[in-house]
Amino acid sequence: MAYGAYGNDSYDARCALALDRALSLASFYGKWKNLDPGPSIPIDTRFSSLPVLTKKDLRAWIPDGFVYSDKDAKAGFASGDIELVPTSGTASERLSIIWNQAWWDRSEREGARINAALDRAFSQNHREAVLTTPVCAGNLCHVGDVPIEERILGNLLFPNQRMDPDSWGEKEVRRMAEELARFQPEVIEADPAYLARFSFETMRLGLAPFQPDIIVLTYEYPSRMHRRQIGRAFPGIPTVSSYGSTETGHVFTQCEAGLFHQNTASCRVDVQPFGAGRGDEKVGRILVTTLDHPWFALLRFDVGDLVRLRSDGEPCSCGRDGGRTGGGLTVESIEGRTRDLTFDSAGRAVTLKRLDDALGAAEGLLNYRIEQSAPNRFLARYTATTESESETADAIPDILRSVYGQNAEVEIRRDSAIGPEQSGKYRLARTIFDWNQEELFHDAP
């Protein structure tokens, strides 16, 4: 097939190749073929003419529906070139995907180029400590007392062995601090909630944690309260947010200027904004298409996360707009998961970032979970430092009314602990009533 119409080797041509290969060679997409207006049409229009790929679709059709028919899946599995790898998340989100290590490694390496400090670390042999849930994800599992030798995989150390950081205790925190000091990682990659807890406990115990060259926050939304605690234990250490998933590889990396650039080396991103009246129209859900994957055809996959498009349209001061291969998105922020949306008194969606930015004003907050039970009714569970207890209790209702509307009824409940969900991830906000997310988003006309 010729892609000259989109410019040979350009980002658009690579997107067109991914589209054409998926539609013609991956059986799941057979029913999408008639919806494609064809190669004489601009590539963005072709993509936006197609439906959205859901986790449910993947679960029902993997592996056969998504492996290119010109590849021999049986031989791929037998040689270890591909494997089925379970993703993380809640029971309803979990599924297995087709994993190709070489593609993943390339996606990770290219994603790191988007930030100079991260690129420096990845340009050399580096040690990396990964602080997150020990729940089995990918091919790793390190729950319970496991000797350090069994928690080192190549250049990676996994210090945490407990499902719930609330059960760490002093001995556990000291062990992890000692392991970090011994392993001397250049990079700490962390779930922000876990690293925040570790930071808070090391400060409380008067320990001076080992300082890496760079901290990468990933796995879940980096709350302001968590970043604040991390900043106290790791003052002056560059901290970068990286966004991706097991299904899509590395999608966005935060640059030195604080914006998020798309990793055009391994993916395309389409954004479906909130419809008028349903939420901020600069915010939308991301639909990811993987590029140059040798086996697995992922087209317009709804990962379940939201981003904010840039409002000024000025080039980013880091100079990376368009990337090295051209095209690609630069977004203002990652706004949190779709499932963590709550709704204001006008029924408009409130992203986790909007809520979290507002709650950032409560300095003593250590953790929270906002539960919306009805259009104007909220339960705010929280944990706070002992010294900020009454101040925090006073601040929360006003903050929530500033976000949700002055008629919001807010009940507050101070907890001794708020643990992660079974998936190992924390849930900062949720509704306890059902709503239909498909009604919230629309494609550009």
Q: Kindly list the residues in this chain that would bind Zn ion in the complex (CB under 5 A).
A: 255, 257, 259, 316, 318, 320
Nearer to Zn ion, 259 or 287 (CB): 259
CB of 255 to Zn ion, least distance (A): 3
Nearer to Zn ion, 322 or 419 (CB): 322
Task: Note the residue count of the chain.
Answer: 445
At 346, phi and psi to the nearest 5?
-90, 5
Nearer to Zn ion, 185 or 323 (CB): 323
CB of 319 to Zn ion, least distance (A): 7
Nearer to Zn ion, 267 or 400 (CB): 267
CB of 430 to Zn ion, least distance (A): 32
Nearer to Zn ion, 120 or 430 (CB): 120
CB of 238 to Zn ion, least distance (A): 14
Nearer to Zn ion, 318 or 412 (CB): 318
CB of 429 to Zn ion, least distance (A): 28
CB of 261 to Zn ion, least distance (A): 6
CB of 320 to Zn ion, least distance (A): 5
CB of 312 to Zn ion, least distance (A): 13
Nearer to Zn ion, 68 or 260 (CB): 260
Nearer to Zn ion, 132 or 218 (CB): 218
